[in-house]
Amino acid sequence: MKINIIFGSDGGATRGVAAKIAAKCQGRTIDIKKAGVADFENCDLLVLGSPTYGDGTLQTDWEDNIGKLRGANLKGKKIALFGTGDQQNYPTSFLDAMGILYDEVSALGAHVVGFTDTAGFDYIESTAERDGRFVGLALDLDTQSGMTEKRVTAWLNQLL
């Protein structure tokens, strides 16, 4: 199975998660700045990841390169999402970037897989929560870094 993991990262935390995911599933990591439309299309599973900034925006490189995603043919494509956020300092926008990516790929006809439970998180609201579940792998590397390995492994077991 060919897996492409496209991510945006400034401080390196989301890049680290992408590398961890890739190592566990023999996937290929691609920074959104270097990704081309073919990277979104030419894989069996597309994994997209972004940290959430401030009041709930996409990471800057994602914002600057969102046209690449929008230009890809994702109809019927199997896509999984992961997001990094800080539930303690940003409880009203926790993982909102993952929700933004979900809306983008859903509008393009993609089939999103890998929803996860909201249990164990303490936040007020999130656009990444739909019908009581997160639309992908939820990670808080600021306050719950000790849970990252377990969550990544469980999520990949669900996907693969």
pLDDT of residue 82: 98
Q: Is 135 exposed, middle or buried (0-12, 13-18, 19+ CB in 10 A)?
A: buried
Q: Which of 17, 24, 71, 20 is nearest to 49 (CA)?
A: 17
Q: Which helix (H) or strand (E) holds 45?
A: strand 45-53
The HSE-up count of residue 71 (CA atoms within 13 Å, CB side) is 9
The amino acid at residue 140 is D
CATH class of 3-159: alpha beta
Tens digits of per-residue pLDDT, 27-75? 999 999 999 999 999 999 999 999 998 889 999 999 999 999 999 999 9
Burial class (CB in 10 A: 0-12, 13-18, 19+), 8: buried
Extents of the domains making up the chain: 3-159
CB of 25 within 8 A of CB of 160? yes
Q: Report the predicted TM-score, pTM, of the whole model to 2 decimal places.
A: 0.97
Mean pLDDT score, 115-138 = 97
- pLDDT tens digits for 72-98? 999 999 999 999 999 999 999 999 999
